[in-house]
Amino acid sequence: MVKQFSLPEFLEKAKTTVVVDVRTPLEFEQGHIPGAINIPIFTNEERVIVGTTYKQQGRQAAILLGFEFTGVKWADFIRQAEESAPDKKIMVHCWRGGMRSGAMAWAFDLYGFEVYTLKGGYKSFRRFGIDSFSKSYPFQILSGSTGCAKTKTLQSMKKLGEQVIDLEDLAQHQGSAFGSMGKLVQPSQEQFENLLATELAKMDVSKPIWLEDESVTIGKRVIPKPIWEQMRRAPVVKINIPKEERIDFLNEDYGNLDKDFLKTSVLRIQKRLGPLETKLTLQAIDEGRMKDFIRQVLVYYDKTYAKGINNREHQNIFTLEISKINPLENAKAILEYKKSNKL
């Protein structure tokens, strides 16, 4: 017997049970419940045809056509489900919780799976995510110039028991012209929001939630406006680390990247660097003088950072001087500083 769950019940059960999204590959790529797998009942093209048939000829004609499309696929659907859920417990959803998930759930149930469906489908999850952005969160922002190892410091803070959301990891981008690292592929905007909503749902709002100081855009992904506005109002711990320390740290991350990728990235910001600076930066890359390349672009990024931090409310900024980059020790120092300043 197929059981239908509300969204909270579904998400709780999903922690231990495989979730199958039966929408098309295109719909799934656009956005899905994090952790779900895709077993599409229709191809992208078949869904369009069935939808058109539904509008022009009605429900029964669309259902009949749907069965014609899927007739030879059912055994493969079940094999995929068995491979993904060998315990034969499975959760199924489509867009609204209608015919597609109903048909797949029926087939899995008939075969002997323990099946659960989501009331309202993915649409209910999407609504939950968007609504979550308007709630209030006790954000704390870690700020600092490029190369302060903020991400690694936040990771160390998480290991020390702090609540941390890594926006750059969710966006799969390091937040600069070089942020793709030549290999990272960003999720869609919708999926970025889904991932963020899922992280927010895990947080205890009675305790601080640490985020890195970000622009409103991370690569091509945009932080939802209500969250961005809360980030701008939140208390900021700004760490100051000597420039040479930052250059050494950045050299470890960027010094060995593909030179063509680095040069292409430099050309993206050439108008902001200026013609002479662009020429010197490209020359340093060609000649393998990676620290000189980093030193050159830091002139631009440090100016950009200074402008951004100066646009914040100064009373919300608390500055901590740090001499060396050591993520774990720096994380401890930040938490001690926060405690002593009662942030």
**Amino acid identity, residue 275?**
P
For the stretch 280-321, pLDDT in tens is 999 989 999 999 989 999 988 899 899 889 888 888 999 999
Provide the pLDDT for residue 21: 98
Domain residue limits at 278: 136-340
Q: Are residues 160 and 91 in the same domain?
A: no
- Round to the nearest angstrom and report the end-to-end CA distance of the chain: 53
d(CA 89, CA 56) in angstroms, rounded, equals: 37
pLDDT greater than 80 at residue 274:
yes
Of 109, 130, 151, the residue that ends a domain is 130
| Residue in 116, 115, 175 with CA at minimum distance from that of residue 143 | 175
Provide the pLDDT for residue 174: 83
Query: C-alpha distances in angstroms, 72 versus 38, 100, 245?
Result: 18, 16, 62
Q: Are residues 184 and 218 in the same domain?
A: yes
Q: Are residues 122 and 176 in the same domain?
A: no
Catalytic residue among 18, 94, 171, 294: 94
For the stretch 130-147, pLDDT in tens is 999 999 999 999 999 999
pLDDT greater than 90 at residue 328:
yes
Q: Are residues 184 and 62 in the same domain?
A: no
Q: Are residues 13 and 114 in the same domain?
A: yes
Active site residue 148: no
Of 130, 153, 169, the residue that ends a domain is 130
The C-alpha R_g of the chain, in whole angstroms, comes to 25
Number of domains in the chain: 2
Structure tokens that stand for 68 in this block: 């014609």
For the stretch 194-227, pLDDT in tens is 999 999 999 999 999 999 999 999 999 999 999 9
For the stretch 32-45, pLDDT in tens is 999 999 999 999 99
Percent of the chain having pLDDT more than 90?
A: 77
Find the CATH number of the domain harbouring 93.
Answer: 3.40.250.10
d(CA 55, CA 51) in angstroms, rounded, equals: 6
Q: Are residues 145 and 185 in the same domain?
A: yes
For the chain, count helices (H), then strands (E): 17, 12
How many CA atoms lie within 13 Å of 105's alpha carbon, on the beta-carbon side? 24
**Residue range 187-191: mean pLDDT, rounded:** 97
Q: CB neighbours (10 Å) of residue 5?
A: 17
Provide the pLDDT for residue 321: 96
Provide the pLDDT for residue 113: 97
pLDDT greater than 90 at residue 258:
no
pLDDT greater than 90 at residue 52:
yes
pLDDT greater than 80 at residue 193:
yes
**Amino acid identity, residue 118?**
L
Give this prediction's pTM.
0.93
pLDDT greater than 90 at residue 253:
no
**Residue range 145-170: mean pLDDT, rounded:** 96
Of 103, 130, 157, the residue that ends a domain is 130
β-strands 89-93, 18-21 pairing: parallel
Provide the pLDDT for residue 342: 66
Q: Are residues 97 and 161 in the same domain?
A: no
Q: What are the DSSP E strand ranges found in the chain? A: 3-5, 18-21, 37-38, 89-93, 114-118, 139-144, 163-164, 209-212, 217-218, 221-222, 236-240, 317-321
Percent of the chain having pLDDT more than 70?
A: 99
Q: Are residues 153 and 121 in the same domain?
A: no
Q: Are residues 186 and 334 in the same domain?
A: yes
Provide the pLDDT for residue 217: 93
For the stretch 64-118, pLDDT in tens is 999 999 999 999 999 999 999 999 999 999 999 888 999 999 999 999 999 999 9
Q: Are residues 122 and 147 in the same domain?
A: no
Q: Are residues 81 and 146 in the same domain?
A: no
| Residue in 146, 114, 129, 295 with CA at minimum distance from that of residue 200 | 129
Q: Which residues pair with 211 in a beta bridge?
A: 141
The residue count of the chain comes to: 343
Find the CATH number of the domain harbouring 146.
Answer: 3.40.50
Q: Are residues 149 and 255 in the same domain?
A: yes
d(CA 51, CA 104) in angstroms, rounded, equals: 18
- Taking all residues of the chain, what is their mean pLDDT, rounded to a whole number? 93
For 219-273, the DSSP string reads TTEE--HHHHHHHHHS-EEEEE--HHHHHHHHHHHHTTS-HHHHHHHHHHTHHHH
Spell 27-60 as b/e; 16+ CB within 10 A means b.
Answer: bbeebbbbebbebbbbeeebbeebeebbeeeeee
Provide the pLDDT for residue 332: 96
